[in-house]
Structure 1
Amino acid sequence: MAPPRILLCGDVFGRLNQLFKRVSSVNKSAGPFDSLLCVGQFFPDSPDSLEEFTNYIEGRSSIPIPTYFIGDYGIASPKVLSAALKDSANQGFKMDGLKICENLYWLKGSGNFALHGLSVAYLSGRHSTSSQQFGTYSQDDVDALRALAEEPGIIDLFLTNEWPSGVMNRASASDLPPEISDSSGSDSNISQLVAEIKPRYHIAGTKGVYCAREPYANVEAVHVTRFLGLAPVGNKNKQKFIHAISPAPASTMSAAEICMKPPNTTLSPFTSVENAVHNEGVAKRPSDTGSDSQYWRYDVSQKRQKGDGDGSKPCFKFLSSGSCPRGENCHFRHDGDAREQCMRGVCFDFLNKGKCERGLECNFKHTLLEEGESLPNRRPRSGNADANRSKDCWFCLSSPKLESHLITSIGEHYYCALAKGPLVQDHVLMVPVEHLPNTLSLSPECEMELARFQSSLKMYFNNQGKEVVFFELVFKRGTHANLQVVPIPSSKASAVQRIFDLAAEKLGFKFVVMKNDNNSEGRKLLRMQFNNNCSLFYVELPGGTILSHSVEENEKFPVQFGREVLAGLLNVADKADWRNCKFSKEEELKMAESFKNEFEEYDPNR
């Protein structure tokens, strides 16, 4: 088969008439092209372009070829994207794009999908410390892409809005656009990602200039990366805003084709000369030490220049799981002390960079154990046993961060609380009093109390004409466990297993099914199956059937999987993100009081 033909475009700024006129012209003279991929701001930057933009969204003007965009910010973006999330056609997992209108698809968050045989990865939104719903990416989006670095296969195209910081290091002077700098439109997170993912093509916008950098070699990869920066549609300097490529998918290429390096290949801009010369066929160039020293955080061979100690960048896989499939060949540091810090809840960005840009919004610690301070005993202990851990935990009863006004009932081993940002009314959490990473490793006494709580909740919701879905995502490096309890209309109970199976199919796995009418026996089988050395997702359906899935080491598994699936079932896709469901403290107090009054006669701890 002939390689796919793809058009690439920079910031659109809502100028769809000009964009699609050019696309139609190029398609007629040099096409046909299969798809158009847009990076940079897609939505208008002023009200002047809004009517033109809306004509396409509402179908009065047509889009000539399938178009995908990641620049989900600008005028009208919240309105258009919120409507797309509520569309029933966009329910479930759509890493290959949420449909906005005919031939227009929004690549949300981060992901990796196949496009005409090409492997396409993307990071939507811009880097920002704010928590706005649209236009910015989250740490979860970044972490999901990091996992791609360990997966087999080669990423063909990587789409980002902003440029990676330092990408023009070691480029020839002729490749440097005028007045280019890292002061704006560049992102250090993208530098880290592209150095780990190693795509064949990296396409970005935002800078306002066109740039086709010389291909550069990658450390521990045989193929080169080509970076393309594209100018905005209709820019005054008439710089190139649309570019055509026709790459053969890496999955169809021979080893010799993949290894081929053009004569003008340079060293990687993100690694030191000493490490990069091991790439076969790359000529060694003198390095600008002043420039290189600014990018030590991406330099896997140099030592970090920090006052509190040396060491190369810590391995994300090792910190998160305790092992790394590359073993001694990994060029990141396998630091047991750093892993212990991570296990105690220290922020990965803080360990990696010395700071975390999420600030107070981050749920992890931004302090290290002091020198000589012993690490905590890993054996199960009471909730008050570790004062430091309790202080920072959102669920420990002794923690100042606990939102105690949401608690509705407290037993000896478990307490019940309304969920923060509930998916539906009376969405509650079952939380162990003891600070433990999951509910499957608790004592038989704890399990008996949990069974009583579950039975009481089922009776309470059954009397309202509802069924209950219980689910838990168990992390190997989890902090404080919680079992999610979501009531659903009885009319939808028969569809729950089907929608979970469909979601699993989209992610490439099948659930292990345990059918048992006795709830305690079902959980007993689940506990026997559970291995503390792996992560696990499980869901108990109405009727007692339990679906479980052991999450593999390198598997990309959505943290909010259970919530997102149920949001699709209930046709409330916009509530899949709990941040869209926030209430004031006064409203939460009223909700908690109402639940306590109505649940009182069923409460095993009344």
Structure 2
Amino acid sequence: MSAAVKVLVVGSAVGQIRELFTKIKSIDEKHGKFDFALCVGDFFGPPKNANEEYREDHDVIQLLEGHLQAPMECYIMQGEHPLPAPVIEKFAKTGGILSSNVFLLHKSGVLNTAQGIRIASLGGIYESNLSANIMRAFKGFTSPYFTSQTVEKLLANTMTSSKPQERNYTSLAAIKSSTTPSQLVDILISNAWPAGITQFSSAPLPAPELASIGVEPVADIVRKTKPRYHFAAGGGHPPRFWEREPYVWEEDNARVSRFVSLGAFGGEQPSGKKQRVRVVLCRVYKGIRPPLTPTSEPPPRPSNATPNPFLQKVPKRPLDTGEDYRWGHNEQPGKRSRTEDPSGKPPPGYKCKICESPEAPSISSRTAQKGRNLEKGISVVSVTRSVSTTASGMSKLTPAIYQPGHFIRDCPVKNAVGDTGGKKPREGYVCRACGSELHYIQDCPVAKQTGPREGGGRRGPPKPIAPDECWFCLSNPNLAKHLIVSIGTECYVTLPKGQIIPTHQGANHPNVPPVPGGGHVLIVPITHYPTYLAIPPDLAEPIIEETEKYKSALREMFAKHGAVAVCFEVGRMSAKGGHAHVQVVPVPTKLKNAIEDAFREEGRSQGIEWEEDPDEALRACGGGRGSYFRVDLPDGRKMVHLIREHGPFSIQFGRQVLVSVLGMGDRYDWKACTQSEEEDKEDVQAFKTAFAPFDPSL
């Protein structure tokens, strides 16, 4: 049971079942083998009307009758729509087995897979204002909603064993029951987001409305089950991809949780980028293991972990109406009655002393919660992510439902809550510790973790680089996307701006390797991590594996053109945090024996010492515990230098050595080597054509 389990997670198919199975098969052949797939959100899409029937050639009927086969075991759930009537009938007969490889999870169920993975599922959407009559009329999969009773049933199921009915289906018959006294689960899948999930997170939201879509019942499930992975599908319309930084449950042996909201595989796509979104959503999540026990060794703490957003419930503001939800208006004793306009609006000329605006927002607590938006939002759709942030890179909440005027007692600013649970700052305030506009410095988690400096004041660390500011994050609108030559599941490959190898001016240099498009490329993980060794262990394997595949492919391509590959990484754990990447540069085969000597000689002149045991040195930097410079020589050996904290080290050291080997001293400054966009595109097309036979993503 100690072996890692490979799980493929995809977003809503929205009825595109055949296309989804084709994609899953392709990814499994390229990056598998996967143990099973989780299809989050709407698998079937909106059902037909009661008077419409499904034709025999419809994918739903083809699936239920066994004519449409899934390439691996797939667990599906209910999303935001009622399920089709034929699916509900099949579920009632089989207990969830829709076909030999497709299993429909209960709306509020818990299941243990054959690999020992415990999955909890909560289907549907939440609406607290539904009447009891409506809920009685539509139950189970015929209703798109879940209720507090649905949540209670799920939590009760977490205390019992999962016992699927014994059926004559070979591929799902291996599912085993497992009795456990614990409510902890490995994976939670839901359509709805939990309330408070965006607290303490600096990961930019891809759409403004996502700041307030979470619901408290899902947050309650998270507090009790503490899932190590929570996948949700209801991130807006259309759904958007958003991955939150991990957070830790200290009281449960430092158990680490991660939340990922998936965009839709099928249906409407943001800005029409359908094919690009599909590629990103089919991501690999590895390393899911059986539940930890109190005696287990605590897992390594992720370097980018944030405070836990679920340790306290999201504060609720008091209702404005003065009416009891069940018994109606209740006058409180001892309170003076007021003579007011029947409309509840202030008289002409009244000015709120808190927000000093006669036209300020007047919102009830429930409307305020649903109506928050991100101010100054910039929605950018790219290959992998969408970004919505303020100019400072921080999410900024502000009420969005306005009415003309309000009394001071109703002022929303008076009870507004910041992102860390304290009072929301006044307009224009900026926390000096982290740069956020959503909390005062006394409520800042960064300021609390930073000791006082000399003079009695506090100084937080430099503000981390946000994804929309990072030169290597695909969500950055300023990223030179025209230089990208390959996009895999975990990494992408791009030509750099101002590459070492000249391709237009200076291309007649005697040491220019004849690699089409130059050949100097960067291999970049899609997810933002400061170094490769800082990637959490349970997420690192697929990223490193794909990086090595790209390295091997580049070596083969370079060899065809009479060159060898030199790979180097500046793994620098700087205060602001960079984005991990590996540079790969082709060097003519005739110069390969000069590469190691050049690194050693130049290193000696700069006081750079090389470790005798490179592998042991890299292990010492694991988990983000240190900075390093790594070189992969053409013969497969490594050279590693451990960068001292606050010690001098030029990030251009690798480039400096290679331009020396190539005899191209004028190529040291990348800014002096930049080309026009037209010339860059010529290089990209030449490289992509030559790399296509070796590209592991194709």
TM-score normalised according to structure 2 size: 0.36
